[in-house]
Amino acid sequence: MQAFRRHRGLMLPINADNVDTDAITPQRWLITVERKGLGGGLFGSWRYDENGEDNPDFVLNEPQYAGASVIVARANYGCGSSREHAVWAHLDYGIRAIVAASYGPIFYENCLKNGLLPVVLPDRHIDTLMAHALAGDGAEVLIDLELNKVMGPGGLVYDFAMDAGRRQSLLDGLDDIAATLAQREDIDNFEAWQRRKSPWLG
């Protein structure tokens, strides 16, 4: 997966609580197990009308948010079913980080396993960032995972916490498989020792 160290991007406001994975990636986009091509379905039921045309009232279609790469959201973002497609859709669209008050636990884990940074900030900080994002005047944030800081408009600086092991995996760009393979020599040595000690295990 792509390593995450720091990223500066335009904020996209998703100003609602309990945005679930059905809204993030509707069922009709779940016909593939490929990670590419899902960006077009991100928020598909909100983003398009019944004729498949862009809904001009949805934030993702507003021209001032074109190219946004950081979502600012409220509480319990990504709740609902465990579909990993919801994370893949964000990444395929170009979203590199989400800043929210809280997350659905499975979605949060899926973010970490795929290189999408989920930052948790208190409601009062989300309120401030959301106000800047909703203003639609090109407000950007810099998210620095090495420093564990979100830096926003007007000199805003917010610290955030993350599990040290998960943080290091994001910094190194290692998913669970890659992290295991990085220990290949130790695994091989252990297996050789075990075969010598207990040859009947085969």
What are the respective helix, strand and coil percentages of the chain, to the nearest 5?
Answer: 45, 20, 40
Local confidence band at 184 (pLDDT 50, 70, 90 cut-offs):
low
Residue 128 has pLDDT above 90, yes or no: yes
Local confidence band at 114 (pLDDT 50, 70, 90 cut-offs):
very high
- The phi, psi pair for 104, rounded to 5°, reads -65, 135
Residue 190 has pLDDT above 70, yes or no: no
Q: What is the average pLDDT value for the chain, to the nearest integer?
A: 90
Local confidence band at 25 (pLDDT 50, 70, 90 cut-offs):
very high
Question: How does pLDDT run across 61-111, given as a tens digit for each residue?
Answer: 999 999 999 999 999 999 998 889 999 999 999 999 999 999 999 999 999
